[in-house]
Structure 1
Amino acid sequence: MTELVTLDQFDRKLLALVQKNNLRPARELAEAVGLSESAVLRRLRRMRSEGVIVADVAVVDPAVAGEVVSIHVLVSLERERSFDLDAFIRKIRQRPEVKKIWYVTGEVDFVLLLRLPGMDHYADFVDDVFHADENVKSFKTIVAIREIETGGV
């Protein structure tokens, strides 16, 4: 189980800022939260070492990168033994169209977020991944009309 880390108001303010732009200079972060640059750098280093900040990433605009269709897929498997779950996850992780994977409770087993150039690419994905896997019982496709930003990450 993951160990919880205690975060104070300064840590939370820093996290909110670096989640929006992790390239912001320490000087600007310090001004925004009311700490010295060295204190800001120390806190960020601590949060990285404690696993609060797990990655510094680039957020890619899917449309500019040629991934104009966002699709969520709800997947149900025939069997949920450890071996079967691991095999499905390994296969899905190898697909570049799959941007996020959630193993969930309820009526389905997985929720996938795909980004693709078009629906013809999704048809190929369906054939290669779902129809070719005897352990995929069913899947339901939800195509996003428009992504609405919330301001959070």
Structure 2
Amino acid sequence: MTKTAALDRFDHALLALVQQDNQTPARLLAEQVGLSESAVLRRLRRLRAEGVIIADKAVVRPAALGLPLTLHVLVSLERESAAELDAFIRKTRSRPEVRQAWYVTGETDFVLLLQLPDMEAYDRFAREVFHDDPNVKAFRTIVAMREIVGPADARPLAAMA
């Protein structure tokens, strides 16, 4: 089970701000949360060291990179032994088309989020990853027509805690 970090109101305020823009200078963060710049920097270092902040990344619009097609694929496996799960996870992680993936409960075993240039690329992906794998029992594809809430405009997690 994942350990929950002990966060105070300043930590929550900082997290909400850096989730909106992690390039905000420490002095501006300090003004907004009511701490000194050095206190903000110490807290951010601690939040990174404790694994609360796990990455600082830019959010890129996939269509700008020639990947306008977003697909969610629900995958069911025939067998779920540890070795077979690990093999499917390794294969999934090795594919650049897979932007996110979850091992889930219920009728489906995995949910994959794919970014691709077109349906032809998805056909190749499906043949290589699903059709050629004897342990893939079934997969169902959901085509995203339009993004409603994406990474760039999602509410900060700190605001939900």
Provide the TM-score with structure 2 as the length reference: 0.92
Q: Count how many residue pairs are aligned between Structure 1 and Structure 2.
A: 153
In the alignment, which residue of structure 2 is the partner of 1:60?
A: 60
State the percentage of identical aligned residues.
Answer: 65
In the alignment, which residue of structure 1 is the partner of 2:159?
A: none
Q: Deviations over 1:49-96 (max 9, x none)?
A: 111011111211111111101100000000000000000000011100
The reply to whether residue 37 of structure 1 matches residue 37 of structure 2 is yes
| Displacement after TM superposition at 1:8 (Å) | 1.1
Query: Pairwise mapping of residues 69-84 of structure 1 onto structure 2 (< 5 A)?
Result: 69-84=69-84
The reply to whether residue 90 of structure 1 matches residue 90 of structure 2 is yes
In the alignment, which residue of structure 1 is the partner of 2:131?
A: 131
Instruction: Give 3-state SS (helix, strand or coil) of 2:63's partner.
Output: coil
Q: Distance in 1 between matches of 2:31 and 2:63?
A: 34
**RCO (CA 8 Å, sep 6+): is it higher in 1 or 2?**
2
Q: Distance in 2 between matches of 1:71 and 1:60?
A: 17
In the alignment, which residue of structure 1 is the partner of 2:146?
A: 146
Q: Deviations over 1:118-141 (max 9, x none)?
A: 111111100111000000000000
Provide the TM-score with structure 1 as the length reference: 0.96
| Displacement after TM superposition at 1:152 (Å) | 2.2
Q: Kindly report structure 1 stretches of 4+ aligned residues shifted beyond 4 Å.
A: none
Backbone CA RMSD of aligned residues: 1.0
For residue 102 of structure 2, what is the amino acid of its counterpart?
A: W
- Stretches of structure 2 that go unaligned for 5 or more consecutive residues are 157-161
